[in-house]
Amino acid sequence: MSYFKYHVFVCTNEREDGACCACLGAGNARAYLKKRCKELGIHGKNQVRINSAGCLDRCAQGPVMVIYPQETWYTYVDSEDLDEIISRHLLGGQIVERLKI
């Protein structure tokens, strides 16, 4: 069994040229995901873990996150996108195709 069912890594890297996930709100996105997962009672061992990560090397498609061990890559714009990732993927086990990269 996986230590975490969904291990989410949100790129929160900062680059000086402004073309970075952090510049596009990744810090807030990561905090929002963690807060919502805690509120929903799904943040912890055998469930969901929301982590920040350094540059995931997909800057041109940023802001990005990756969910392991399934390896699903997402981009997102706002909290509606994040809510959909939570409700459909982390709770429902389905891929959010429109946000997948």
Question: Which residues contact a second copy (rule: CB under 8 A)?
Answer: 2-3, 7, 9, 44-45, 49, 51-58, 66, 68-71, 73
Instruction: Rank residues 22 and 66 by Cβ distance to a second copy and give the closer one.
Output: 66
Instruction: Rank residues 61 and 80 by Cβ distance to a second copy and give the closer one.
Output: 61
Shortest reach from residue 69's CB to a second copy, in Å? 5
DSSP 17-78: TS-STGGGTHHHHHHHHHHHHHHTT-BSTTSEEEEEES--S-GGG-SEEEEETTTEEEE--S
